[in-house]
Structure 1
Amino acid sequence: MQKQEKIVQMFNEIAPSYDKANRILSFGIDTKWRQDAIKRVQKHINKDDLVIVDVACGTADMCALLKNIKHTKLIGIDPSEGMLKIAKQRFSDIDFKQAYATALGLDDESVDLITISFGFRNVVEKEQALKEFKRVLKKDGILLILEFFKREKGGFIAKIRDFYLKNILPSIGALISKNKQAYEYLPNSIDDFYSNNEFKEELKQLDLELLEFKTYSFGVSSLFIIKK
């Protein structure tokens, strides 16, 4: 089984307890991050009736907030059948589609806004995914990425975050989901991910314009708002 398929299978296994685990493990603050991200991205959108795509939508937490933006079409895309099953149960009025971030199955220049929150780390071919996002975005289309990026500097906050992720989170996650391996994957995926500065360089290489950058909770997570 390929690495990407193993990651998808892991999310299939933890799907039933995923929302509960997220709320407990993040103390509910991830919802506030998402709300602020959407508020900020709306400042960069100059039209109504948008085509919006939430990639790695999971159980549709981000879609629930995106519904409040005036749109003609809202699509949730995820490769995990287990996650999408729950998303469809939550929202029958959203168009959900099973696909990978590297192959969205959408027409060229057909989307106004793409969001991906806490799912970009789980994409193995990240550069290919960015190219795919660029392909489907309309001219001046917007990409929102909310994610746990690798920390470049040490310090007290960094040590607290890393200790929690590597020593406490896996045990709590295991109690809730009965899958400790899945929650050991999280800190490892951050260690293998871009730092904020590395990602800024990647955007330059792909000729994508960074409109806004913000970190939350002393750098625990980061928001990138990007224009094609």
Structure 2
Amino acid sequence: MPPTELTESEVPPSGDSGGSSTTPTRRTFIATTTAVGSAVVAGGFVAGSGFIDAAAAAADAAPSSRVSLTVNGTRRTVTVDNRTSLLDLLREHFGLTGSKKGCNAGACGACTVLVDGQRVNSCLALTVRLEGAEVTTIEGLADGDRLHPLQQAFIDEDAFQCGYCTPGQIMSGVGCIKEGHTDSPEEIREFMSGNICRCGCYVKIVRAVEQTAGRK
């Protein structure tokens, strides 16, 4: 027969018949360890506020840097957490919410801006690496009330529906034109392929870029 576990009443008594045994029974062992464990857990919860304070202090002590850059023609100097993306700097620090946070992983292009004239996914660009850079966002394209030619072309060609991707599409289109990648609709599509339009306005977006590049 397989071995069976004895119940407490079946455990043989200690050989010391003159008083209580000094060997703990399973019941006293469990009771003792449970009490100790509860005390430790309770102590942890009591000290919980200390843990929270320590975490907050660590967050406050996160490495930061002072960065100067030009945004839409205006020189800006800020002190930011070293982990701050250019997108978060623009939206949360400067209030420039035209650049959209889509995937936040560099896959949709909604956050595209120009950095020193080059297209950049601002969600992937760290602010601390942009000392002295010149940044242009969708807010900086128009000349007063006069729209940038590509902005006007998007209106003329009805190249948007929901509009969420439009700022990134326009900024990418401006970069594409500056780079000279507008020799054909196929080339435009290739070099604009990093910008996703979930409404499917790709044909009209290409037409808008063509119009601005002087192909129509």
Q: Please say whether Structure 1 and Structure 2 have the same fold, judged by a TM-score greater than 0.5.
A: no
From the CA coordinates, give the structure whose radius of gyration is larger. 2
The structure with the greater share of residues assigned to helix is 1
Structure with larger RCO (C-alpha < 8 A, sep 6+): 1
The structure with the greater share of residues assigned to strand is 1
TM range, normalised to the smaller chain? under 0.3
TM value normalised by structure 1:
0.24
